[in-house]
């Protein structure tokens, strides 16, 4: 189950201490869902502590005031009057609970918006969403460039880790992602003249990256799929380096 499904299970749970095994394991491993569970648990405790305040001029208080003016003599109240008063109090309690539940739901929705969504690193589509949000949040061309360089560094580091685990699926995913990042996204920012110094630094870094991934590919000759993905990253780094140097010379 993903995080949204886990949070639905948390909302539906009758007892926070007795979650399903799969839900409990996910909550232990996911900091965002653990914060969400804690928030829901606190709200449930607060709702349970709500008290229904009696109105200042309820029928019961008016009856007591009349008895006080009659020197403490008891005033007869019909069973029907008591029954109606009981029904009105029950109605007020239900209304208070309904209002509390509405407030709780608004708070939960607000909490969901504030809790950062986990990055989907299992598909190229998820990585694209992460990439676009990271770059588009930047409010200047220079910040967009820095965001793109940071994403490339993260992806290269992840590719090295996956290669060490011989994880062919995720190494290939990182290769696809880096090829796209170093082609399309570098191309979008390559024409910004104010970034010439940053472009030169990144070109030098890409040259080192190309050498490093070629060396790694030679070390993984026993795993052709991993080696192929590492070579693709090396070639994409070299092509991006050459593209940047041509742009600097223009």
d(CA 238, CA 210) in angstroms, rounded, equals 6
d(CA 247, CA 199) in angstroms, rounded, equals 9
Q: How far apart are the first and last CA of the chain?
A: 52
What are the residue ranges spanned by the domains of the chain?
3-114, 124-249
pTM: 0.52
Cβ atoms 207, 150 nearer than 8 A: no
Q: How many CB atoms lie within 10 A of CB 144?
A: 20
Return phi, psi of residue 166, to 5°.
60, 35
d(CA 214, CA 140) in angstroms, rounded, equals 34
Q: What is the pLDDT along the chain (250 residues), one digit of tens a residue?
A: 788 788 777 777 766 667 778 888 888 888 888 887 788 777 777 766 666 555 555 555 665 666 566 665 554 555 544 444 444 555 566 666 667 777 766 665 555 444 445 556 678 888 888 888 888 888 888 888 888 889 999 999 999 999 999 999 999 999 999 998 888 877 777 666 677 788 888 889 989 999 999 999 999 988 999 999 999 999 999 998 898 888 888 7
Q: How many residues does the chain have?
A: 250
């Amino acid at each position: 189950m993903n995080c949204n499904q886990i949070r639905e299970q948390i909302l539906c749970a009758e007892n926070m201490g007795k979650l399903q095994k799969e839900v409990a394991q996910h909550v232990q491993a996911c900091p965002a869902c653990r914060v969400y569970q804690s928030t829901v648990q606190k709200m449930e405790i607060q709702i349970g502590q709500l008290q229904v305040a009696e109105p200042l001029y309820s029928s019961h208080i008016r009856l007591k005031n009349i008895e006080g003016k009659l020197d403490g003599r008891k005033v007869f109240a019909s069973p029907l009057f008591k029954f109606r008063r009981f029904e009105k109090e029950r109605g007020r309690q239900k209304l208070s609970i309904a209002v509390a539940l509405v407030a709780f739901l608004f708070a939960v929705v607000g909490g969901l918006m504030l809790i950062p969504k986990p990055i989907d690193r299992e598909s190229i589509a998820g990585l694209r969403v992460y990439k676009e949000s990271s770059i588009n949040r930047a409010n200047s061309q220079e910040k967009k460039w820095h965001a793109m360089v940071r994403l490339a560094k993260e992806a290269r580091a992840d590719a090295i880790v996956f290669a060490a685990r011989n994880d062919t699926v995720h190494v290939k995913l990182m290769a696809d992602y880096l090829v796209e990042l170093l082609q399309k996204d570098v191309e979008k920012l390559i024409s910004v003249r104010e970034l010439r110094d940053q472009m030169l630094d990144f070109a030098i870094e890409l040259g080192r990256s190309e050498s490093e991934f070629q060396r790694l590919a030679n070390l993984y000759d026993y795993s052709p799929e991993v080696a192929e993905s590492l070579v693709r990253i090396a070639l994409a780094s070299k092509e991006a380096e050459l593209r940047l140097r041509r742009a600097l010379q223009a």
